A and B are shown apart, each in its own frame.
Chain A
Amino acid sequence: DVKVTQSSRYLVKRTGEKVFLECVQDMDHENMFWYRQDPGLGLRLIYFSYDVKMKEKGDIPEGYSVSREKKERFSLILESASTNQTSMYLCASSNGLATGGYGYTFGSGTRLTVV
């Protein structure tokens, strides 16, 4: 069964810490995405990547960066965690031929709490 695996299910970090959220997919997908999900706001796109070493900003990139050194791995970095970054973080991947949101595969999410 194809998978998107997020390294942690729950994470608690302190304000000001540098936080790494890791995502690995085993489907050889070109595209990878990071979203955050907050009650009443749905899913909001933070960053996405169409290829290794390529990245593009989503709707809410402030306070975040990403790294994609290998095709299967897409990391989200919180440079200096703040309490307003407490959220559910979802990683997704899709085939390069996917059109209009077809066939995204999501991970189970990382619930990050910044205290």
Chain B
Amino acid sequence: LAKTTQPISMDSYEGQEVNITCSHNNIATNDYITWYQQFPSQGPRFIIQGYKTKVTNEVASLFIPADRKSSTLSLPRVSLSDTAVYYCLVGDMGSSASKIIFGSGTRLSIRP
């Protein structure tokens, strides 16, 4: 199973673009890369998923290089409400034996 490595914490300021990088050196061919956001006292919330290159939605962008050994979640123009823990997951639900592993996440703090 592919393990992910993320920075434990990051700080930024309102209006800035924030990039959180995740390493997954052992990613398998069938694995997808998925990011979740978690606020205190709530369950994680799905943000974005990708397999390769770039994916963008209304919340974030996900950049995946050709070797897929890392990925970068990009949050444009963050606000105080983006303060949360962000989890990078790697996994494949195609097999009943597969499991999705959450790492320790990155605690993002946004300052005024």
Contacts and interface: CB of A to CB of B under 8 A. Distances in A.
B49 A102 contact: yes
A24 interface: no
Contacts of B90: 100-101
Interface in A32-48: 35, 40-45, 48
B99 A45 contact: yes
Contacts of A35: 102
Interface string A95-109: 000111111111111
A103 B111 CA distance: 29
Interface string B51-90: 0000000000000000000000000000000000001011
A31 B93 CA distance: 10
Interface residues of A, number: 30
A58 B103 contact: no
Nearest to B8: A40
Interface of B: 31-34, 36, 41-46, 49, 87, 89-94, 96-97, 99-105
